[in-house]
Structures are given as C-alpha cells and as structure tokens.
Copies of this chain bind each other. A is one copy, B any other.
C-alpha cells in the first residue's frame, strides 16, 4: 500500500479494516483440540498469511456508506475473506490453475498437501456460513451463497478453465471475469450495504459499483500478471500467458485494457454518486483499484 497515489485516509482505513477483520478471523480460527490441529493450522496459514483484504474493506465501507457503523460489518467482512481464501486455495490446486505461490508464500497444497488444501478450503467455506448465519438475516446468506455458486465465482472459474487455449473475444472474457471475480466483490458491497441499513435504491447503486470495480479489478489483475514481477505480486507472474488464459490484455492488448479499467472505475464512481460523502472511501477505493501495483 506504499503507493503515493493512494490517499492517506484510504490507507489508514484499509489498515483499520485489515487489523480488525484479522482479529475476528484469528478468534474464529483458534485451535480447539489436538486432532484438528493440521486442518485449522492450514486454514490459518491460508488466511492469515497476508492478502490485501480488499473484499472485507468493501463490506465495511459499504456498510458505512449506507449509514452503519464499521464495527457492525466486521463478522461478515471476515466471512467474505474466508470465502475468498477458500476459492483461492481451490483455484491454486494442481488440477485447477496449479500455482505454487500465493500472497508471497507457498500455496496450501505445496506447504501441506492436496487433501489438506481441499479440506481447508471446504472448512473455510462452511465457517463463513456459520458466521453469516448471525449477520443480519436470510437475505445475506442467500445472496452470498448465490454469488459464490454456479451462477457466480464457481461458474466463472469453470468457464475460465474451459476457455484456456481458446481464441476468444472481449465479450466472452468479460462474461468470465464478471462471474469469477466481480460476483464476490458485488456480494461484498451488497452485504455491507444491507448491514448498514441501505434502502433498495442505495443497494442498486452499490451493486453497480461492485460490478464495475469487480471487473476493473480483474482487468488490472490480468495486466499485472503480464507486466508485474513474481516478487511484487506474491504469485507467479506471467502464468496467464503460460496457461493461455482468457484475459483482457490477451484479447484487446495492454493499453486498451488500461483504458477499460479506467472507464469502469469512472462508471463505478458515478454509480454511487447519489450516496453522498459517506461513500468517499468507496470512491477512493475505486481510484486505488486502477493504481494498485500488486
């Protein structure tokens, strides 16, 4: 986060979210008995070893934008990060993207083994819903489940794998990215908005914002994979090209991809213009999305 283009306010707020969300995660993942040690250890290794914590920050900031207190959103924010981490663990498996590094460390299946990685992901997935059960009612559970299922991140990941090595176009890549990445980011802001007591009109604004920055985030991810270094990213750079993934730079080139990301961030900011000054952090985060270098 030492990027000079990021406002000190946003940096401080992201840091506040990171610290507090990590406290919730740490408490929920205390090791309770010896037999469970390896599993809980692997869960802790995966989730507490770094990460930008953007999704939990979005939960918190959307809650604030809707007029709620940041504190209210912390359990749900932790649950969303658990879901994100579970999806990374499974995506990194040898049968999927086969990645050895994540967040600057060995992936879970390299540090432990594949079985432990599958199970640690499954257990984080379940724990997230155990937490979400107590976060404001059935709408939140139903929505999160929907956004991360066959119509959301899992459907997107399936399409992403099926698209490997296939000549494709921007429309198809956008369709994959919206499900693979934007759906959990959209769920994050919707959950935060609901916790903050949003109106349905505000929820629609947040949804548009989430969709746009979600897609922008993945486009920037695609760009960084091409132009960044493994050290800087904490994961293997250039892996998209090596695996012939369907990416924005792959279909429209780096420069046009940057352009698309900038347009989407502008659209995201317009989408929440009606939320007023409570949404200032979300606006700053949209700017950060395209300026980030890891």
Q: Which A positions have Cβ atoms within 8 angstroms of B?
A: 32, 35-36, 38-40, 43, 87, 90, 93, 95-96, 113-116, 118-119, 121-123, 125-130, 132-134, 137-139, 141-142, 144-146, 148-152, 154-155, 157-159, 161-162, 175
Min Cβ gap A82→B in Å is 11
Bound-complex Cα distance A125 to B144 (A): 12
Determine the chain B residues whose CB is within 8 A of the CB of A154 once the complex forms. 39, 119, 122-123, 126
Determine the chain B residues whose CB is within 8 A of the CB of A139 once the complex forms. 133
Q: Which of B43, B96, B133, B146 contacts A150 (CB 8 A)?
A: B43
Interface of A, secondary structure class, is helix
Determine the chain B residues whose CB is within 8 A of the CB of A130 once the complex forms. 141-142, 145-146, 149
Determine the chain B residues whose CB is within 8 A of the CB of A119 once the complex forms. 90, 154, 157-158
Q: Which of B114, B122, B146 contacts A95 (CB 8 A)?
A: B114
Known: A35-B155, A35-B175, A119-B158. A137 touches B138 (CB 8 A): yes
Min Cβ gap A257→B in Å is 22
Closest 4 CB pairs of A and B: A95-B114, A133-B142, A126-B149, A130-B145
Determine the chain B residues whose CB is within 8 A of the CB of A122 once the complex forms. 87, 90, 121-122, 125, 154
Determine the chain B residues whose CB is within 8 A of the CB of A159 once the complex forms. 35-36
Which among A35, A116, A158 has the highest number of chain B CB atoms within 10 Å?
A158
Determine the chain B residues whose CB is within 8 A of the CB of A126 once the complex forms. 125, 145-146, 148-150, 152, 154
Min Cβ gap A124→B in Å is 9
Does B39 lie within 8 Å of A158, measured CB to CB?
yes
Bound-complex Cα distance A35 to B180 (A): 13
Does B123 lie within 8 Å of A134, measured CB to CB?
no
Beyond A38-B158, A95-B118, A126-B154, 6 extra complex contacts between A and B, CB < 8 Å: A32-B151, A119-B157, A122-B122, A129-B145, A133-B141, A137-B138
Q: Which of B43, B115, B149, B161 contacts A96 (CB 8 A)?
A: B115
Bound-complex Cα distance A144 to B127 (A): 10
Min Cβ gap A97→B in Å is 9
Does B149 lie within 8 Å of A127, measured CB to CB?
yes
Determine the chain B residues whose CB is within 8 A of the CB of A151 once the complex forms. 32, 36
Min Cβ gap A107→B in Å is 14
Q: Which residue of B lies closest to A86 (CB)?
A: B122
Q: Which residue of B lies closest to A175 (CB)?
A: B35
Min Cβ gap A177→B in Å is 13
